[in-house]
Amino acid sequence: MGTPERSALEAQLVDSLRALATASIVPAPLATGGLAALERLFDVQVASRHCDQAARWLRGQGKGYYTIGSSGHESNAAVAMGLRTSDPALLHYRSGGFYLARAGLGGVHDILAGMVAATAEPIAGGRHKVFGRHDLAVIPQTSTIASHLPRAVGVAFAIGRAARLRVESPWPTDALAVCSFGDASANHALPPARSTPHCTVRINACRCRCCSSARTTGWASACARPPAGSRARTATGRTFATPASTAPTRRRCWR
């Protein structure tokens, strides 16, 4: 059998898997729940990739209307698993892994409903392909170029403010706002986060070699560098997110 023809993205995946065979594996700190959590993580990551393939299949038949996918961004699922389901999330259009980690595999139905513009889609009723569901605290966004980040900062600011003023809020008093966006959107995204005091946003900037809509060079990571004196912490895609790993941030912000 000859070598199958692969897209750049699939080739990158296969190469990375091959490299694992020879790499000395350092076991990642397991999420609470150990193996079961890892299995769940893998399941939702694969489901996210399958949704991308279904999008192209549907489009090819003229039955689907959206093909921007989450391939290469599946580790967003680990971010979701490191948070509580009550933490408000404002997601990039490539955060399928995050969405499915929160929604479970039943969320595949939501994503597909968005692709075919079905009225059963839970947040936009088929008017737009978007990640959003009220019961999952996923706040819907339109096509992002991080226009949603000021909003995420506003949500984070309001959580803390409501707690301090003891007014009613839809979010738990120690909730974290989480926001994901693409690298090219960093210039829109980071100034409000840097300049708003007293709020906690978990920012998750997505960078992947193969699916950039707009090319960026070093400036995106340079402007993501935390300002001097801030309490920001940075992590790379190799940092395994667990509920335990977000606990210090939660405690530090809401003590």
Ligand X SMILES: Cc1ncc(C[n+]2csc(CCOP(=O)(O)OP(=O)(O)O)c2C)c(N)n1
* Near ligand X by CB under 6 A: residue from 47, 108, 206, 224: 206
Q: What angle do CA 253, 206, 35 make, to 5 degrees?
A: 75
Give least dist CB 185 to Mg ion, A. 8
Which residue is at the shortest CB distance from ligand X?
A: 182
Out of ligand X, Mg ion, none, which partner does residue 185 contact, by CB within 5 to 8 A per kind? ligand X
Contacts of 125 (CB under 8 A, 6+ apart): 119
Out of ligand X, Mg ion, none, which partner does residue 130 contact, by CB within 5 to 8 A per kind? none
Tokens of 134: 């009220």
- Does residue number 94 form part of the binding site for ligand X (CB under 6 A)? yes
- Rounded to an integer, what distance in angstroms lies between the CA atom of residue 223 and that of residue 8? 28
| Residues within window 104-163 making contact with ligand X, judged by CB under 6 A | 143, 145, 147
Phi, psi of 203 (to 5 degrees): -95, 135
* Near ligand X by CB under 6 A: residue from 23, 165, 214, 228: 214
Q: Which helix (H) or strand (E) holds 17?
A: helix 8-22
- Rounded to an integer, what distance in angstroms lies between the CA atom of residue 52 and that of residue 112? 10
DSSP 201-231: EEEEEE--SS--SS---THHHHHHSPPTT--
* Near ligand X by CB under 6 A: residue from 173, 213, 230, 234: 213
> Whose Cβ is closer to ligand X: residue 200's or residue 204's?
204
Out of ligand X, Mg ion, none, which partner does residue 171 contact, by CB within 5 to 8 A per kind? none
* Positions that interact with ligand X (CB under 6 A): 94, 143, 145, 147, 181-185, 206, 212-214
